[in-house]
Structure 1
């Protein structure tokens, strides 16, 4: 029986991945910023899948509190870091607080989760970090997001060396057509779809499939996987 921790799984792709592991019989821990939200979604997932899902409160932007938040996890085989905050923040009008929250969340927060759980990881454990295509395709307002998504690649390099034989990979999706953020923005969907070579955007199911490859294939390690349909 495997144990899976998905950090940032109260909606979107994180929720879909947690559901898939619950259907497969794993013991799943999901996190949200509040205990109420995490508990509610855990209950929904358990009802939908018939699996075992536990909700924990964890705020990646508060790394000093992360170790205590993860205390209920006594053993872990798969760790997935999806959680993020959205930040439109240009260099010409720089919001220091917003930038600090985002950088803390995706660099310090992600690393703190991995460091906290590492002593409880199995020998064949694997870790998956979510980045994003803003690292390669900056746009006005993506200054900090572009930087931290590129930093995710750096984390994969160092963590895969430091934690070996634990495998560490990252996934970098383009716009996901049925994710809450993209589904609500028709203009964004159309623009993103026109940029792909396939003429289609990924669904959450497509991204979950990529996640499962990186998490479960025993030779997949130190990979930064772009799932974007090709960008013209």
Structure 2
């Protein structure tokens, strides 16, 4: 792997995605990051620095992805970090919200890979973001648990179909210093007290895990849980 790697971070305008983009821009990689809004993506790219570029990508509109990604590439690595949060139950099932999440994460992720498949280096990698709700559902996680289970299936079929390009998934625990969880002390404290490491997962831990999946040439088709051992409790 050379130093001048090229990477696209989908969902790179905030939170963990932004931290991933910043990491590689700081290492001199050619970074493209995306968000739903073109102006916002451009602003964040300028803040990230290192010559990063920003583009608008809306995963909930998969039919548009070939056109919006037409000018991207070639690429060595693709990180699909875009997520949306959804509270949905079987008793009070919001079909529109469920359809949006399934389209964005399962169809949108796959359609992005489809659009970029001929521009991805066979020596490179894809990292998909899932989540631990697939292992430990909670009230309101009906769609989230289902979709994150689908990410695991996606990893396996893509790893087979795109070989030797590597495809892996990262499933974070509660990331205590992320924009969503920062300040929610009651929730993060309860999780920390049940976590064997005695600490919440940090954004830096997730970025390091992404880097491991990108750089290790023998890790392929895996679901990597980054939760401090929380699932053991």
Matching of residues 27-106 of structure 1 within 5 Å? 27-46=30-49, 51-106=50-105
Cα root mean square deviation, aligned: 0.8
Correspondence for 1:10: 13
Contact 2:10 2:33 in 1 (8 A): yes
Question: CA-to-partner distance for each residue in 1:121-161, whole Å, 9 max, x for gaps?
Answer: 11201000000111111000000000001110000100000
CA distance in 1, matches of 2:146, 2:69: 27
- Quote how far apart the aligned CAs of 1:194 are: 2.1
Unaligned 5+ segments in structure 2 are none
Cα distance in 1 between the residues matched to 2:139 and 2:201: 23
Structure 2 equivalent of residue 20 of structure 1? 23
The change in CA–CA distance for 1:89 and 1:53 in structure 2 (over 3 A counts) is same
Q: Which residue of 1 aligns with 2:131?
A: 132
Q: Matched residues in 1 for 2:179 and 2:88: separation?
A: 21
Shift in Å, 1:191: 2.1
Q: Tell whether the 8 Å contact from 2:11 to 2:34 is kept in structure 1 after alignment.
A: yes
Task: State the alpha-carbon separation in 1 of the partners of residues 51 and 216 from structure 2.
Answer: 23
Q: TM-score, normalization: structure 2?
A: 0.96
State how far apart, in whole Å, the 1-side matches of 2:132 and 2:167 are: 19
Give the TM-score taking structure 1 as reference length: 0.96
Q: Which runs of 4+ in 1 moved over 3 A?
A: none
Alpha-carbon distance between aligned partners in 2 of 1:184 and 1:98, rounded to the nearest angstrom: 26
Distance in 2, Cα, partners of 1:74 & 1:215: 17
Between the aligned partners of 2:194 and 2:143, the Cα distance in structure 1 is 23
Q: Cα offset for 1:105?
A: 0.9
Q: Distance in 2 between matches of 1:191 and 1:181?
A: 16
**2:190, 2:70 → 1: CA distance?**
43
Distance 1:149 1:188 in 2: 21
- State the 1:184 CA deviation: 3.3
